[in-house]
Amino acid sequence: MPDWADIPVALPPPGGMAAFELGGLELVLCNAGGTPRVIEDRCPHADVALSAGRLEGFVLECPLHGGKLDVRDGKPAAPPIRRPVRTFAVRARGEQLQLEVPSHA
């Protein structure tokens, strides 16, 4: 059974993002049209914080070179990004959002 941890930031308004750190990981909570999504906060192309970019629907644009990722699965949506970013399962427990903690097995 997976372990879950509370996300230490509130869900931003639709189209918003909130960066946070959990268990040594730099992550970003995205409000993709009312749906919370969590991805790693590092562009796989340019190694900059994706949380400084722009979110439209489910597509996050990197602030440096304009590459795009789909926050639902982390896959590239536009060059120059060619590699995906890690995504993490999110669930609601009452008013609190939780993140599935990656296993280190």
Q: What is the CATH number of the domain that holds 20?
A: 2.102.10.10
φ, ψ for residue 59 (rounded to 5)?
Answer: -110, 125
Going by the DSSP 8-state scheme, the letter that residue 51 receives in this structure is: G
Write out pLDDT tens, residues 36-70: 999 999 999 998 999 999 999 999 999 999 999 99
User: Is 90:36 a contact under the CB 8 Å cutoff?
Assistant: yes
Rounded to whole angstroms, how far apart are CA atoms 105 and 89?
A: 18
**Whole-structure pTM value:** 0.93
Number of domains in the chain: 1
Structural domain range at position 88: 3-101
